[in-house]
Amino acid sequence: MDESVRSFKEKLDNAYQWPALYTFKFISPKSKVGEVKSKFPNHSFKERPSSKGTYISVTVSIMARSSDEVIGYYQEVHKIGEIISL
């Protein structure tokens, strides 16, 4: 685990008591929204298009069991490419 992931894990563990409701926010090219959503099966999403419609803001909340689970989701979405995590 690299230092940035370790630091993020520590921040999550200090801020949350697991299990906890965790909200993910991503900015995705319109063409990749389906891929982002596929990483969170059986969850509801809020979507908001950019002013030109090129990008979509995707928000999803899950009941996470641990900081490791949260980090795992971020790592899976990162594999898609061209996605900004907020």
Q: Domain containing 78: what range?
A: 3-85
Tell me the pTM.
0.92
Distance CA(70)–CA(60), nearest Å, equals 12
Distance CA(12)–CA(34), nearest Å, equals 27
- Return all residues near 23 (Cβ < 8 A) that are at least 6 apart: 59, 60, 61
| b/e map 6-26, b = 16+ CB within 10 Å | eeebeebeeeeeeeeebebeb
Q: What is the CATH number of the domain that holds 79?
A: 3.30.70.120
**What is the greatest pairwise CA distance in the chain?**
39
| Tens of each residue's pLDDT in the chain, 86 residues | 699 999 999 999 999 999 999 999 999 999 999 999 999 999 999 999 999 989 999 999 999 999 999 999 999 999 999 999 99
- Cα 36 to chain centroid distance, Å, stands at 8
Domain count, the chain: 1
- Return all residues near 34 (Cβ < 8 A) that are at least 6 apart: none
